[in-house]
Amino acid sequence: MSCFYYSLDVPGTLDSVARQVNETVRRRRRRDAGEDDYNIEILLGVDDSVVRFHGKEHVQNYLLTLMNIVNEIYHDESLGVHINVVLVRMIMLGYAKSISLIERGNPSRSLENVCRWAFVQQKGDPDHAEHHDHAIFLTRQGFGPTGMQGYAPVTGMCHPVRSCTLNHEDGFSSAFVVAHETGHVLGMEHDGQGNRCGDETTMGSVMAPLVQAAFHRYHWSMCSGQELKRYIHTYDCLLDDPFKHDWPQLPELPGINYSMDEQCRFDFGVGYKICTSFRTFDPCKQLWCSHPDNPYFCKTKKGPPLDGTECAPGKWCYKGHCMWKNPNQVKQDGAWGSWSKYGSCSRSCGTGVRFRTRQCNNPAPSNGGQDCPGVNYEYQLCNTDDCPKHFEDFRAQQCQLRNSHFEFQNAKHHWLPYEHPDSNKRCHLYCQSRETGDVAYMKQLVHDGTRCSYKDAYSICVRGECVVRICLNYMILDILKAALGDHEHKWLQAVSLNYTV
């Protein structure tokens, strides 16, 4: 068997491997700044005024829906940078703490209090699942002059005290306020103030001084994209791959869970419902609301109801229009099906490879949904016992099989194994003629389990790639497995399989 057999001090090795396992379990991959995705891991602080308005039993789903909308706003192509808004922690404050943080009529002091509170909540370990990059605080208390919707420092993302925003929550349109204020922390200025994008504000730019963006009409201005790109490479905290969090699954179209009456209540307060004093041709173009005490006084925030809101029997709102319900309109991300059984081994001796596969069909991605993350196959080594002497050279066997039928320059040859000098081609089958010395490419990959090089006993070809195999004495491997317990699979993934050469 061609494997490493480490000479090990078992107790010392167990300690070392345990440390590696713990690091593997905890560690997140940090990516290069040149990669496309940035992840803002969010601590969402919610004060008592928001909890009481929405109710303890409903507020979490409301907030998750709101943050999903913020994430969609940051996914708009006009931004020019792909940013994921990832909720890692949600804290709902009691009454006493809520009123101590918000000082009515004093936005700067209120923001300072909120940022200090968020700093205290921070998890010290950057690899903790709830370690946040940015804090978003929501309140229904008035913290500034009439009409002030949010307050935030310009730049400050990743800073321990300055990466925070204060936002007035008054319905799902608050998602644009949250996106706007977080935009400031990312380095974006108001459109038209110190830049040339003032003409984009009436078209629904997110960074307009007075936010007029709505669900059917919003974009990031050219200036916002340029300002973001000026700073984004300095925000190292956004390079962590986020942990998976088990928040409740929500429907793709947020309005499925919320009627027009409920959305009116969120926008304008208790008692407000859809305005029935006048009927528009299409109730999905704008959400008009009124209070029963004054039914003829109808109000709107100039935006449509959420996509998925029921607008008539069998119909829902979609992109500002009342349409027949069609599940095909819903974006569906793909999810993996179960693994197949492992297939047969590629070799009967000398270390082969066997595979198992899975399909991205549970469900399959549709309507622009994302593909499944990760790979669709796994492999493991098999039949690792040494071959008898006359069967040792697996590459030679594959070349020899071409003797009877592969013609080169109009003649048949006796083919010998040939190791290509280019390391990138060693898993492609090249053979050398015994008669002429010519080298021919057999137009296929070598079989899985073939050594990459005669000079290297520890690397084999798998699907055309050269990988290193690491084998441990089985007695020690069993000891390590027993010691690792529940983390055994993590260690096997991290230590014992493959490293691409």
Confidence of residue 365 (pLDDT cuts 50, 70, 90): confident
Amino acid at 17: V
Which of 69, 117, 111, 115 is CA-nearest to residue 93?
117
Other Cβ atoms less than 10 A from the Cβ of 284: the count is 25
Class (C level, CATH) for 34-234: alpha beta
Asked if pLDDT for residue 168 goes beyond 80, the answer is yes
Residue 240 marked as a ligand binder? yes
Residue 132 marked as a ligand binder? no
- List helix spans (H) across 306-410: 394-400
Residue 15 marked as a ligand binder? no
Q: Where in the chain is the domain with CATH 3.40.1620.60?
A: 254-324
Residue 184 marked as a ligand binder? yes
For 315, the token pair is: 């119909």
Other Cβ atoms less than 10 A from the Cβ of 333: the count is 17
Rounded to 5 degrees, what are φ and ψ at 89?
Answer: -160, 145
Rounded to 5 degrees, what are φ and ψ at 67?
Answer: -70, -30
Confidence of residue 367 (pLDDT cuts 50, 70, 90): low
Dist CA 427 CA 449 (whole Å): 10
- Count of H-run helices and E-run strands, the chain: 11, 22
pLDDT digits (tens, 9 = 90+) for 437-458: 999 999 889 999 999 999 988 8
Confidence of residue 495 (pLDDT cuts 50, 70, 90): very low
Dist CA 501 CA 462 (whole Å): 12
Other Cβ atoms less than 10 A from the Cβ of 420: the count is 15
Asked if pLDDT for residue 484 goes beyond 80, the answer is no
Architecture of the domain delimited by 335-382:
Single Sheet (2.20)
pLDDT digits (tens, 9 = 90+) for 6-18: 333 444 444 444 4
Confidence of residue 5 (pLDDT cuts 50, 70, 90): very low
DSSP states of 228-259: HHHHGGG-GGGGBPPPP--PPP--SSGGGG--
Dist CA 52 CA 273 (whole Å): 19
Which of 13, 9, 17 is CA-nearest to residue 485?
17
Which one has a higher pLDDT value, 330 or 257?
Answer: 257
Give this prediction's pTM: 0.63
Q: Where in the chain is the domain with CATH 3.40.390.10?
A: 34-234
Task: Give residue 371's pLDDT.
Answer: 77
DSSP states of 194-231: SSS-GGGGGGTBTT-SS---BTTB-B--HHHHHHHHHH
Confidence of residue 488 (pLDDT cuts 50, 70, 90): very low
For 435, the token pair is: 């008669």
Residue 41 marked as a ligand binder? yes
Which of 428, 427, 396, 400 is CA-nearest to residue 413?
400
For 338, the token pair is: 């179960």
Asked if pLDDT for residue 271 goes beyond 80, the answer is yes
Mean pLDDT of 181-201: 94
Task: Give residue 485's pLDDT.
Answer: 52
Confidence of residue 24 (pLDDT cuts 50, 70, 90): very low
Q: Where in the chain is the domain with CATH 2.20.100.10?
A: 335-382
Q: Tell me which H or E stretch contains 392.
A: none
Three-state secondary structure call for residue 466: strand
Handedness of CA 47, 53, 56, 57 (dihedral sign): negative
Q: Which of 89-98, 199-208, 248-257, 324-333 has the lowest mean pLDDT?
A: 324-333
Surface-to-core class of residue 359, CB atoms within 10 Å of its CB (0-12 exposed, 13-18 middle, 19+ buried): middle
Asked if pLDDT for residue 409 goes beyond 70, the answer is yes
Class (C level, CATH) for 254-324: alpha beta
Catalytic residues: 181
Mean pLDDT of 311-338: 85
For 498, the token pair is: 């493959």
Which of 292, 291, 289, 295 is CA-nearest to residue 309?
289
Task: Give residue 482's pLDDT.
Answer: 55
